[in-house]
């Protein structure tokens, strides 16, 4: 766990609970000597982020309630803008504006990016800057989308962490399954052709 992420998440209450549960010594090393890197997006993170077709985003309301929303789009709709910045076009939706309203009072967000097929996940903590209007979001809008973008959401990354893969249930999208299904389809066609040939040979021997 990078030091930048642990410093943001290991609050006094968390540290107290770690001490009570016996894990404080294990995690102390991340605060004291963990990798300083933790808010810079390297090649591995960039590749992972831009391959995702969705992520979970959490904001916090002015009354203290967390709100988690799923954001989806074509792979690459969440873009890496530089080593500490990601962004996406906020497309028009159901007009509730819960996440948007929360961000007016608290610019912090937490993201979880999932790769279910390979049991990987990346957690990101950051602060949001909003650029309102379709023109501001134009450069981030997914190519070919028919849904208008209302704003650009720019996230300044303050911490990130590759989370433990334990307990991630593998799930596969149609795109991930398609090569395997095509191969099975070809094998089935070959077996069907072979079966038909053998049937014809048997008929000819009668």
Map out the domains of the chain as residue ranges. Answer: 1-38, 39-162, 174-206
pLDDT, tens digit, 9 for 90 and up, residues 90-111 = 988 888 999 999 999 999 999 9
The Cα-based distances of 147 to 73, 88, 100, 118 in angstroms read 11, 14, 18, 30
Q: How far is CA 126 from CA 44, 53, 54, 62, 85, in A?
A: 18, 20, 17, 18, 9
CATH class of 39-162: mainly beta
pLDDT digits over 53-75, tens only? Answer: 999 999 999 999 999 999 999 99
Q: Which residue has the tokens 């001490």?
A: 19
Q: 3-class DSSP state for residue 147?
A: coil
pTM of the model: 0.85
Residues 70 and 53: beta-carbon distance below 8 Å: no
């Amino acid at each position: 766990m990078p030091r930048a992420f642990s410093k943001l998440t290991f609050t006094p209450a968390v540290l107290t609970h770690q001490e009570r549960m016996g894990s404080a010594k294990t995690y102390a090393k991340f605060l004291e000597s963990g990798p300083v890197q933790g808010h810079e997006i390297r090649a591995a993170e960039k590749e992972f982020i831009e391959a995702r077709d969705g992520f979970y985003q959490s904001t916090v309301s002015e009354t203290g309630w967390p709100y988690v929303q799923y954001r989806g789009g074509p792979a690459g709709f969440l873009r890496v803008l530089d080593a500490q910045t990601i962004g996406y076009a906020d497309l028009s939706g159901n007009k509730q504006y819960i996440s948007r309203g929360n961000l007016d009072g608290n610019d912090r967000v937490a993201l979880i990016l999932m790769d279910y097929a390979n049991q990987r996940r990346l957690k990101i903590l950051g602060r949001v800057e909003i650029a309102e209007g379709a023109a501001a979001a134009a450069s981030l809008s997914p190519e070919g989308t028919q849904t208008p973008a209302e704003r650009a959401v720019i996230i300044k990354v303050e911490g990130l962490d590759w989370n433990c893969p334990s307990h991630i249930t593998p799930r596969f999208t149609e795109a991930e399954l398609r090569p395997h299904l095509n191969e099975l389809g070809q094998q089935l066609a070959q077996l069907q052709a072979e079966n038909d040939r053998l049937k014809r040979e048997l008929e000819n021997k009668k």
